[in-house]
Amino acid sequence: MNRRAFISLLGAAASFVSWPLAAHAQQRSARPVIGFLNAHSVAEIAGLLDAFLRGLSDYGYDEGRDVSIELRWADGQYDRLPELAADLVRRQVTIIVGSDNLSALAAKRATSKIPIVLAGDGGPVAPDLLPSLSQPGGNMTGVALFSSVLSARRLSLLRALLPSAQTIGLLADPKSHSYAGLDKEAQDAARALGIKLQVQTADSEREIDAAFAGFAQQQMRALMVDASPEYIWRRCDQIVALAAKHAIPAIYPVRRMVAAGALMSYGPALNESHRRVGIITAKLLKGAAIADLPVEQSPFDCVLNKKTAKALGLEFPRRLLALADEVLE
């Protein structure tokens, strides 16, 4: 059985898991221990964990041989993150990986001594998490995703596909960490393109259903979906299905949603970002000082889904195809 399948089977188990499960305490103490903290479920983030482990391995650290991994995930219950982070601190892990903003923030509040490597936003996007990218200071570094400040690029890609669209909808999560700045950033980007932005907020299954009903009633010709972790990880299938049901062309924040049937995405390449987090973690294990490792910027990718475009009666123009990093047939 491969690691991803095994991790998926663990999804229904208890949230406190040591990785690998069969490792003896004496073996764990003989090698560094990495705490991997995530706000979602182990099944949902299996691909990101695989990418992280590849980064470690690329730099000479294989899980189970050179390093042990302690997995902690909140399964979408974000209020559990402080205790999960505190547990890793009590166990005196060598490094904590916060593989999303909420996890990294919980780790930061739990310890000022254990090095923290994040895959999340920072700087102007999340100043309480990481005030400066070039000089992060303290005990944190990692890879900045910037998914929540890409409205201008996403709107321009939608415009390239639908040049006559004068009004575009925005589905936004009011509980997302990025929501406070999203509306202004998106509205400014829309005005620069001569587009009117119609915002609907939703953070539950019922509210998302209602938001799409509202977009359909307004005969919305295009839609931009907020880079909310809730949307990406827990509401992905619902949102993609509603966009198809109401035949609304939409752009999404990450490739994962296009793989689930969405039309197009532009945002951070999450797997590559987590591979880089693995490399940064390995550098720390080799003795690099965290102060010497500035925060890296995630690469971005544009992904198109031709099958979904055909179902919507659309055809991607050559210019858009040429810009794409990946086209799903």
Residue 11: pLDDT band (50, 70, 90) is very low
Residue 9: pLDDT band (50, 70, 90) is very low
Examine domains 3-146+269-299 and 148-268+301-328 and report if their fold is the same: yes
Residue 111: what pLDDT?
97
Bigger pLDDT: 123 vs 242 = 242
Q: What percent of the chain has pLDDT over 90?
A: 71
Give the chain as a 3 state SS string: CCHHHHHHHHCCCCCEEEECCCCCHHHHHCCCEEEEEECCCCCCCHHHHHHHHHHHHHCCCCECCCEEEEEEECCCCHHHHHHHHHHHHHCCCCEEEECCHHHHHHHHHHCCCCCEEEEECCCCCCCCCCCCCCCCCCCEEEEECCHHHCHHHHHHHHHHHCCCCCEEEEEECCCCCCHHHHHHHHHHHHHHCCCEEEEEECCCHHHHHHHHHHHHHCCCCCEEECCCHHHHHHCHHHHHHHHHHCCCCEEECCHHHHHCCCCEEEEECHHHHHHHHHHHHHHHHCCCCHHHCCCEECCEEEEEEHHHHHHCCCCCCHHHHHHCCEEEC
> Architecture of 148-268+301-328 per CATH?
3-Layer(aba) Sandwich (3.40)
pLDDT tens, residue by residue, 261-307 = 999 999 999 999 999 999 999 999 999 999 889 889 999 999 999 99
CATH number for the domain running over 3-146+269-299: 3.40.50.2300
Residue 190: pLDDT band (50, 70, 90) is very high
Domain residue extents for the chain: 3-146+269-299, 148-268+301-328
Residue 125: pLDDT band (50, 70, 90) is low
pLDDT tens, residue by residue, 137-176 = 789 999 988 877 788 999 999 999 999 999 999 999 998 8
pLDDT tens, residue by residue, 49-76 = 999 999 999 999 999 999 999 999 999 8
